[in-house]
Amino acid sequence: MCMGKKLDKLMICILVLATGLVVENADAFQQQNTEANISAEIGMLTLISNTALQNVVTSADEQNETITGRVTDSRTGEPLPGVNIILQGTTTGTSTNVEGEFSLNVEHLDVTLIVSYIGYEQKLIEVAKRGNLEIILVSSVIAGDELVVVGYGAQQRSDLTGSISSISRREFTEVPVYSMDNALQGRAAGVNVSADSYRPGESSTIRIRGTRSFVANNDPLLVLDGVPMDGGLIDINPRDVQSVEILKDASATAIYGSRGANGVILVTTQRGTDGITVDYSSYVGIQSTRDRINVMDTATFAEFIRDAHRIAGSYTGNDADIFADWELDAIQNNRTTDWQDLVLGDRGMQQNHSLSIRGASGGTSYALSGTMDDHEAIVTNNDFRRYSFRLNLDQDVSSWLKVGLSSSLNNSVQHQSGGLNRVVSNFPMSTPFNSDGNVRMFDERGDRNPMFNMQRENNLDRRSRTRLIGTLYAEAAIIPERLRFRASFSPDFTFREEGFYRRDLPSEAGILDSRENSNLFEAQLDFQEEFLGVHRLGVTSLYSIQNYDQTLTRLEGSDLPYENQLFYNLGSASTVDERSTRLSEWTLESFMLRANYVYDSRYLLTLTGRVDGSSRLAEGNEYGIFPSLAVAWNITNESFMRDQSLFSDLRLRFSFGEVGNTGIQPFQTQGALNPLEVAFDDANIRTFEFGDIANPDLKWERTRTMDLGLDFSFLENRIEGSVDAYQSNTRDLLLFRQLPATSGYSSTLENIGEVRNRGIEFNISSVNVQTPEFVWSVDMNFSTNRNEIIDLYGDGRDDPGSGWFIGESMNANYYWDRKGVWQLDEEELAASYGFEPGEIRFRDVTGDGRIGGDDRVILGSTDPKWTAGMTNRVSYRNFDFSVFVYTAQGAKSSGEDAHIASATFDGLLSFRTQHGNNLDVPYWTPENPSNEWPRPQMGAQQFRGAFAYGMDMSYFRIRNITMGYSVPDRLLSRIGTRSARIYASVQNPLTVTNFIGFDPEGATGRAQMPNYQTYLMGIELSF
């Protein structure tokens, strides 16, 4: 309809198409005389204007019939305002008024209306004759009838007694990421996700309601399609996922017994649906970082060295006495090497392509998908490529028997390079290149050039990994709708090869080969019964057994004669530096029983008991019993709530239970021998020495949890949420007790100690504005957790050497408290403490006139005091817009965890001239008596790690901004698709923090590169 028009008319047509409007009978707008043209253009603009003001899309043709009606709630009978009424197959529509009434003009009757409203099931109404329609809508998922995966089954949300956070598919696919753990951050209260590294292919650390163990595993259990699996979320393609549930309290996690102590993440992938659906999605993005560490340039660093000599009294005024010739040349020519720009100036690239086919026919349903991820980092020689394939297949063999398969295959290759810490802190006078432009191996000082190690031909670190996961199941309906039996077998194979080669003097290379195999068999029996109209009973019993084994071989050598063979011919190495093999194996056997009882949809009871037996523990202590109890009260179903219309859901929950943790390495119940080399005559003799003494009494760590929660939904389900208060005590903690040297052993692993976590969680979702064309919704969550050591060794003693103190966090920072810098007028007092003016001043906690080990104090914790996330979503016609923000407040840096891209503050804030560059800060001199930054020193700075402790790592971050456009339905047939959407997204565009390093989040994980911003474009097609 827009062909053959002049530019001004063409722009009007484009505007109409872009807003999703298609005007019927376009010939009416193609009059040839000027007056008619103007009238047509005004008519089109009026159409757009009226649509925006009235939220009604109408056709340009005359409407001959009027449909009227009223929409009410099925439960309360109350009218529903703002309900969308759309004519099927068109964009013509209206909405109900405050009385639930509507009026819609159509060309003719015999049409179908689509009636939809947030929190209610969509309804199709066929209209064949005149009359006033009475439409009744039934509450849907938001009202509490949503099926929620709870582990070995599913329950209606209104029947839940435990603390479970659900994350829908929309929430983790609206942000383009290649890893599920990144998609989870900030999406659920009580779930803390922090980056260990920003290297492509690296996973994040996930903690649910705090840290519980010193020695055992603190990672939550991952359950994929009902099958517990080891490893992180990196092996799961976000595009394959249908939903995620996070189990947090003992009632929800007790069904997994010893594996549920740290919480459980349930991931359900997509299955086949009726018909055939083909989905394709793709995005391509570039990455960069604007962050730089403010280090000194050549002129500033030269003055820094001069000041160090002046303070030491060794500066003669002649630079030639303290600088080498090459340094003098750089100073005189003001030549500075910006090492960070050399390494971080390049742009990274990230792309993802995913294709899936889903369908069902003749009792067979299938879901097949394939995905390719390719990520080249902003730091050279760091990349990650992964190919993922998934097949889910279900077959109805008969009316009572169903069989199926869930399988996935992942293959990934990752390259890494280190040395970024050396790059950031390297001398500004040094040059990385030879005169011919090639990267030099050694700099002017004779030190190794850090950029040399970042070239792949000089430093290859290649890690390949292949994982095959499968589940075969058979499900029999013994008594339809009442008794069901399911048996499944789940093999899991992982093959890993890690090889490195370093071009050095001499060259070095090594290889690691690993094979992991896990086999899980489970048999499950479910019984459901409803009787007397008010009683519902559900019982689940389970038997499970899992076997795991891993073999690992490592070989390293140096001085290779054929360097082009990299790490594949280590037998030719002149020196074998390491050769080792390892076998690791364990078995876990489990019995479980769970009963759910509901009385009159008002009172709910859940009882769970699980017995686990682990071969990792000592004989006689292998089996542990883990019970839980939970109750809930559906207040809205009480008779005194029937006449109110404010709350559609109000449910009070309480749970209490105990779970275990056996996340220790196998064979730790046995004594250990450590390899030892002893010089004898002119040779080194390889032998062994005693390590850890055996402990035949090792048993389960146990976590006892209480949770009190309230779920709510009101204002016709426009606002819903929950609040939880919890406390968990983990006792019989596994700790290594140090033994006296006279025993001949270094330590022994014992069950001693107790840790407590307690906190509050809150989440809320709201639909702030809802019209037929405009919707604005918000999801928010907030959580706080207090971690505290209750006991360590059973005698009330602290462990300062490990940084553990009763009453403090497990992750507390223990160091001397800085109180500024000693000044010139305090020279005598400073000397009494062994310091000089310009050096760091510490608080004398004991008041004994000296600074010693007993003056150290707690300087906060690396755990944030509270975290929060918020997502704003806005949709207008065919446009959608979302902003996701996240904040973590109150965390403090700790020692060597306070990395600036792995450059420790021991380096950039050491204020030593020999170490390398320093931060460009106003350091102390007699002429500039700073009270914040100490003086430069020739030798080692006393307490040189002082700035690494207690730095504020709080931050506020906009994690994602996305804008999308969905092609209008009337245009889809022209391009042959069911749906089509294009979008643009930016990740991490803004971070607000006082942290002086690259990134406060990666600081605690010793990130090997800074965080980055990603700018990408994507498309989603469905056929």
567 and 499 in contact (C-beta within 8 Å)?
yes
**Three-class secondary structure assignment of 746-774:** CEEEEECCEEEEEEEEEEEEEEEEECCCE
pLDDT in tens, 587-598: 999 999 999 999
Q: Is the pLDDT of residue 566 over 70?
A: yes
- Tens of pLDDT, residue by residue over 730-763, are 998 888 877 777 666 777 788 888 999 999 999 9
The torsion angle over the Cα atoms of residues 233, 236, 237 and 243, rounded to 10 degrees, is -80
Calculate mean pLDDT across residues 327-331: 94
Q: How many CB atoms lie within 10 A of CB 593?
A: 16
386 vs 374: CA distance, rounded Å: 7
| Percent of the chain clearing pLDDT 90 (strictly above) | 41
Q: 173 CB contacts (<8 Å, ≥6 apart)?
A: 183, 238, 239, 241
Taking residues 78-82, what's their average pLDDT?
76
**Which residue did the predictor score with more confidence, 748 or 322?**
322
Residue 933 scores a pLDDT above 50: yes
Q: Which CATH code is given to the segment(s) 65-138?
A: 2.60.40.1120
Token representation of residue 163: 């603390």
Q: Is residue 157 predicted with pLDDT exceeding 80?
A: no
d(CA 298, CA 304): 10
Above 60 in pLDDT, residue 324? yes
- pLDDT of res. 630: 94
The answer to whether the pTM exceeds 0.85 is no
Residues 485 and 526: their CA atoms lie apart, in Å, by 6
Question: Half-sphere exposure (CA, 13 Å, Cβ side) for 389?
Answer: 6
Measured CA distances, 57 to 12, 20, 52, 791 (Å): 17, 10, 9, 68
Per-residue pLDDT of 764-817, as tens digits, reads 999 999 888 899 999 999 999 999 999 998 888 888 888 899 999 999 989 899
Does the pLDDT value for residue 709 go beyond 90? yes
Span 143-272 CATH architecture? Beta Complex (2.170)
Higher pLDDT among residues 195 and 870, named by residue: 870
> pLDDT at residue 119 above 70?
no
Q: Is residue 517 over pLDDT 50?
A: yes
Cα–Cα distance for residue pair 837/821, rounded to 1 Å: 7
**Residue 40 pLDDT more than 90?**
no
The predicted model gives 352-364 an average pLDDT of 91
Q: What is the pLDDT of residue 15?
A: 35
CA neighbor of 554 nearest in space, from 524, 593, 580: 580
pLDDT over 50 at 32, yes or no: no
Maximum alpha-carbon separation in the chain:
111
Distance CA 338, CA 342 (A): 6
Has residue 58 got a pLDDT over 60?
no
Mean pLDDT for 577-581 is: 86
d(CA 283, CA 294): 34
**Residue 1017: closest CA among 350, 346, 289:** 350
Q: Using 50, 70 and 90 to split pLDDT, how confident is the model at 17?
A: very low
So what's the pLDDT on residue 491?
96
* Section 64-82 average pLDDT: 77
d(CA 495, CA 411): 9
Contacts of 975 (CB under 8 A, 6+ apart): 967
As beta bridge partners, residue 759 has 726, 785
Whether 444 contacts 488, CB under 8 Å: no
Structure tokens at 914: 């020999």
Q: How confident is the model at residue 329 (pLDDT cuts 50, 70, 90)?
A: very high
**Measured CA angle at 377 (ends 374, 379), to 5 deg:** 155
Query: Which three-class secondary structure state does DSSP give residue 299?
Result: helix
Give the residue-averaged pLDDT of 925-948.
79
pLDDT for 56 beyond 50:
no
- The pLDDT, as a whole number, for residue 609 is 94
Alpha helices, DSSP H only, in 235-353? 250-253, 298-312, 325-332, 339-344
Q: What is the mean pLDDT of residues 326-337?
A: 93
The Cβ of residue 735 has, within 10 Å, a number of other Cβ atoms equal to 21
CA triplet 242, 248, 254: central angle to 5 degrees? 100
DSSP string, 4-57: T--HHHHHHHHHHHHTT---S-GGGG--SSHHHHHHHHHHHHHHHHHHHHHT--
Q: Has residue 144 got a pLDDT over 60? A: no
Give the C-alpha separation, 728 to 723, whole Å: 17
Rounded to 5 degrees, what angle do the CA atoms 653, 657, 662 make? 140
DSSP 172: H
- pLDDT at position 21 over 50: no
Per-residue b/e over 289-308, b at no fewer than 16 CB within 10 Å? bebebebbbbeebbebbbbb
When mean pLDDT is compared across 133-147, 259-273, 620-634, the lowest value belongs to 133-147
Work out the pLDDT band at 64, boundaries 50, 70, 90: confident
Q: Residues 398-420: what's their mean pLDDT?
A: 90
Residues 937 and 259: their CA atoms lie apart, in Å, by: 52
Mean pLDDT of the 177-202 span:
84
Average pLDDT over residues 306-326: 91
Residue 344 has pLDDT above 60, yes or no: yes
Phi, psi at 330, each rounded to 5°: -65, -40
Two tokens, residue 685: 């003799």
State the DSSP string of 559-611. --S-GGGTTS-GGG-SEEEEEEEEEEEEEEEEEEEEEEEEETTTEEEEEEEEE
Residues paired with 702 in a beta bridge: 660, 731
Predicted pLDDT of residue 108:
82
Burial class (CB within 10 angstroms; exposed 0-12, middle 13-18, buried 19+) of 714: middle
pLDDT in tens, 638-668: 999 988 888 989 999 999 999 988 777 777 6
Domain spans in the chain, listed from the N-terminal domain onward: 7-54, 65-138, 143-272, 292-344
Averaged over 19-24, what is the pLDDT?
35
* Among candidate residues 1012, 1020, 962, the one with its CA nearest the CA of residue 376: 1012
pLDDT at position 151, please? 80
Q: Is the pLDDT of residue 75 over 50?
A: yes
Mean pLDDT of the chain: 83
Q: Are 749 and 621 in contact (CB under 8 A)?
A: no
- Alpha-carbon gap, residue 224 to 243, rounded angstroms: 11
Who has greater pLDDT, 54 or 961?
961
What is the pLDDT at residue 34?
35
Give the 3-state secondary structure of residue 958: strand
Residues 52-61, mean pLDDT to the nearest whole number: 36
Query: For 639, left (φ over 0), alpha (ψ -120 to 50), or beta?
Result: alpha
Highest mean pLDDT among 152-156, 558-562, 829-833, 946-950: 829-833
pLDDT in tens, 374-399: 999 888 888 999 999 999 999 999 99
Query: How confident is the model at residue 22, as a pLDDT?
Result: 36
**pLDDT tens-digit map of 485-515:** 999 999 999 999 999 988 887 888 899 999 9
State the burial class of residue 34 (Cβ atoms within 10 Å of its Cβ: 0-12, 13-18, 19+).
Answer: exposed
Residue 16 confidence (pLDDT) above 60: no
Report which of residues 528 and 452 the model is more confident about: 528
What six digits make up the tokens of 353? 């392509």
Residue 917 C-beta-side C-alpha neighbours within 13 Å: 27
